[in-house]
Amino acid sequence: MLKQLLSTGRQNQRIAFVLLIAMHTAGVLGLYFEESRVLFQSLTPFNLLLTAAIIFHFEEGKNLKYFIFIIFTFLFGFFIEVAGVKTGAIFGEYAYGPTLGFKVFAVPLTIGLNWVILIYITGIASNRLSSNFWVRSAVGAGMMVILDLLIEPVAIRYDFWQWVGSDIPLRNYLSWYLISFFLHVIFQKLDFSKNNPLAIKLLIIEMAFFVSLNLI
C-alpha cells in the first residue's frame, strides 16, 4: 500500500497534478475573498511545503547531486535574502511580513524553499528550449525575472514583504536575474536527471496563480 502511495507512476502524477491545481485555485479564491483572506494568508507556508514535497518527490533521478542542489540552493537563497534584508544593498530596502511564516534573521525559512522550487522548475523548462549550457542558464534566469514581476504586486498586497518607499527598485530585478543565473549555472553543472513530469506543469500553475491574483 505504501509503495503504491509513493509511486511516481502516471496515476499518481495525475493525482498530484490535480492536487496542485486545487491547492492553487483554492489559494486564489481564499486570498480574494475578505472573509477567508487571513486564514489563507496563514496557510501560505503550508502550501509552499506541500508544493515542494510533491514536486521534489517526482524527480526521476534522486542521486546525491540532486540533494546537493536542493541544500545548496536553499542555503544560498536564504542567506542572500538575509544579506538583502540586513543591508538593503542587494535588492533594495525591504522587510518580510508574517505571511510566509517562521523567520530566522528576519527572513522566513520558506524563502529558501521558494528559491529551490523556482530554480528547479524554471531550470527544467529552460532545458526543453535549448541544448546550450549558457543559453539554458540565461533563459532560466529570465523566467525567474518574469515570475518575480508577477509575484511582486501580490507579495506586497498580501504582506509577504514590503518595500521601503512606493516603488520597487530596478536593482531588485537586476539582482534577481544575476543570482538566478548563478543558481541556474549550478543547476546545470550538477549531474542528475532533471526529469520531472510535473515541473513544467507547476511552472504554468504558478504563473496562472500570480496572474490571477494580479487581475482580480
Residue 169 has pLDDT above 50, yes or no: yes
Which residues sit opposite 118 in a β-bridge? Answer: none
Rounded Cα gap, residues 133 and 188, in angstroms: 7
Phi-psi sector, 62: left (phi>0), alpha (psi -120 to 50), beta: beta
Rounded Cα gap, residues 55 and 52, in angstroms: 5
Residues 64, 67, 73: CA angle, nearest 5 degrees = 135
pTM of the model: 0.94
Which cell numbers hold the place of 215? 487581475
pLDDT band (50, 70, 90) for residue 5: low
DSSP, collapsed to helix, strand or coil, labels residue 116 as helix
Rounded Cα gap, residues 105 and 128, in angstroms: 37
What is the model's pLDDT at position 165?
Answer: 82
Which among 119, 89, 84, 90 has a CA at the least distance from the CA of 105? 84
Q: What's the CA dihedral at 136, 61, 180, 212 to 10 degrees? A: 90
What is the model's pLDDT at position 164?
Answer: 92
The pLDDT of 153-161, averaged and rounded, is 95
Q: What is the pLDDT of residues 102-146, one digit of tens each?
A: 999 999 999 999 999 999 999 999 999 999 999 999 999 999 999
Burial degree of 132 (CB within 10 A; 0-12, 13-18, 19+):
exposed
Residue 4 has pLDDT above 80, yes or no: no
What is the model's pLDDT at position 6?
Answer: 65
What is the model's pLDDT at position 8?
Answer: 73
pLDDT band (50, 70, 90) for residue 2: very low
The pLDDT of 6-12, averaged and rounded, is 78
Which cell numbers hold the place of 19? 492536487
